[in-house]
Amino acid sequence: MSSVTLLPDIIPLSDIKAAQTRIKEHVLRLPLIPLNVEWEGGKIYLKLENLQPNGCFKIRGACNAIGCLSEDDLAQGVYTASAGNFAQGLAYCTRKFGVPCNVLVPDHAPEAKLANVRRLGGEIHKVTFDEWWEIIKSHGREGMPGRFVHPVSDCAVIAGNGTIGVEIFEDLPDVDAVIVPYGGGGLSCGIASALKQLQPSCKVFASEVETAAPLDAAFRNDNVTECSYTPTFIDGIGSKSVLEEMWPMVKNLISGSLVVTVEDIARALKILIERNHVVAEGAGASSVAAALAGKAGKGNIVCVISGGNIDTHKLVDILQGKVPQ
CA distance 283 to 299: 23
Local structure of residue 257 (DSSP, 8 states): E
pLDDT value of residue 4 = 57
Cβ-based neighbour number of residue 217 at 10 Å: 21
Q: Which residues contact 111 (CB under 8 A, 6 or more apart)?
A: 311
pLDDT value of residue 2 = 55
Local structure of residue 42 (DSSP, 8 states): E
Q: Is 96 within 8 Å of 67 (Cβ atoms)?
A: no
Cβ-based neighbour number of residue 201 at 10 Å: 10
124 beta partners? 103
44 beta partners? 301
Give me the domains of the chain, ranges plus CATH numbers: 13-56+155-319 (3.40.50.1100), 59-148 (3.40.50.1100)
DSSP letters, 21-58, are: HHHTTTS--PPEEE-SS--TTEEEEEEEGGGSTTSBTH
Q: What Cα–Cα distance (Å) separates residue 294 from each residue in 10, 38, 177, 254, 273?
A: 27, 13, 11, 17, 20
pLDDT value of residue 5 = 64
Reference 193, options 34, 20, 310; nearest CA is: 20
pLDDT value of residue 73 = 87
Residue stretches of the chain with pLDDT short of 70: 1-5
Q: Is 57 within 8 Å of 30 (Cβ atoms)?
A: no
The tens digit of pLDDT for each residue in 267-288 reads 999 999 999 999 999 999 999 9
pLDDT value of residue 215 = 97
The tens digit of pLDDT for each residue in 30-87 reads 989 999 999 999 999 999 999 998 888 999 999 999 999 988 888 889 999 987 788 8
The torsion angles phi and psi of 259, rounded to 5 degrees, stand at: -95, 130
pLDDT value of residue 276 = 97
